[in-house]
Each structure stands twice: as C-alpha cells, then as structure tokens.
Chain A
Amino acid sequence: MAHSPLHISCQEVVELVTDYIERTLPADDAAVFEQHLNFCDGCVVYVDQVRLTIDAVGNLSAEDVPPETTDKLMAAFRDWKRQ
C-alpha cells in the first residue's frame, strides 16, 4: 500500500526518531509521529531509549574514547565494509 499522510509505521518512527527528538520534523509530520506514539508502547520505549542514549553520550568528544575502543570500532567498520 502507498504511504499515507494520515499515519506512519513503526519503521518510519525508527527513521524519523532523531528529527523528532531534535524537533526538526515539520509540524504535520511531528503530529502523526506523536499519534503513533499515543497507541504504540513499543515505539514509546524506543524513543525514550534513543533520547536517553543521546543524553548519555551526546557530550562525548573524540578524546573521551579510549584508543583501544577506537581501534576496535575502526576494525569493525573496516570488516563491515568488506562484507
């Protein structure tokens, strides 16, 4: 079925969650986003998790990440690209 402007899916919530939290969604999109949250407890939990994660790590700088963690992450992304 074609996308409806009347509602969004859980997948679309995942795609839009950052814009919603950062309040950059257009008003109509934010309204259908919140309508979805009004009946979907799973997405409420998801949005809360993303919000908490941003609050927890949003102020990290590159210097805050230990070199060994940086190396592991870089290796993981290199492997990911090869797959």
Chain B
Amino acid sequence: MAQHAIHLTINSEPHELTVQPNRTLLDVLREDLGLTGTNKSCGTGDCGACTVLMDGLSVNSCLTLAVEADGTDVVTVEGLARERQLHPVQEGFVKHNAIQCGFCSPGMIMAGAALLERNPSPTDEEIRRGLEGNLCRCTGYTKIVDAVRWAAERMNDATPVEDAP
C-alpha cells in the first residue's frame, strides 16, 4: 500500500509521519506515537471515547484518516495539561468523581474542553448537549456535568460556588 508523508502538530510538537492511507488518526496516535490516553471503544464514531481536538474542534479520531490530519494542530488528552497544571476540565473530573472506569474520560474531557472553548458559560442543558456524542456507562453523567460546570466557573475566573468560603 502506498505510503503518505504527513506533517502535523500534536500536543504542540511538530511531527513528520509516514502513514498508510487506510490508517486512522486514532491508530497513529496510539500505535505509532504511544499516545494511548485516547481510547478506542467502538471504532465507528458512535461513542466519542477517541475524541481529540483538531484545529480546536472536537473530532472522533477513529473516523479521521491520518492523512486528513495533515497540516492540522491536534491536541490529545496528554496535551491538555499545561506547565504541570491540569486543565480545569481535568481538574473538575478528578474533583467531582466524574471518573469511574475512566475509559470514556479522555474523550469526555476533550469534548468538555472543546465545549468550553465555544461556549465559556454553558447552561447545564448546553453541557449535556455538548457531551451527547460521548457515551459513559458508569456515571450516569451527573458528575460529568458537575465537573464541566465547575471548570467553566473556574475558567471564567469566578470562584466556583461550592469552593466559596
């Protein structure tokens, strides 16, 4: 099978890769780059476990061919924390017990981060809508919504209600 050279940025680092045309971005992230934080659960775009950011938008990396990612800026869950600080969505997930088995969590966190980029002050309904493409079998989503709401408050520089003295 023909090989294709692609250039892309992954978690702020430039990468030059040679990939087969049938390989997905998910496979390349997990198998070639060892970025196993992004999980594969369905492989058909139905569950969102493989969600990453591509040029700031959340995408199912299992439905994105690696060649389609040529020239883009990709952020995975491994690239979300900055300067040893968790992203507020990650922090919210840990703090609010939004993680049980955790298999959906990286995708859910990326979807949450993308949502807050587009809509920094979402209502609970908007949070639920923003995460609709990400399935979770463990939590019933309540704690996940709590986590994203908390992250929004933190990012808006307000003291989250429950943390107020």
User: A and B: real partners?
Assistant: no
Chain B residues in the interface with A (C-beta under 8 A): none
Chain A residues in the interface with B (C-beta under 8 A): none
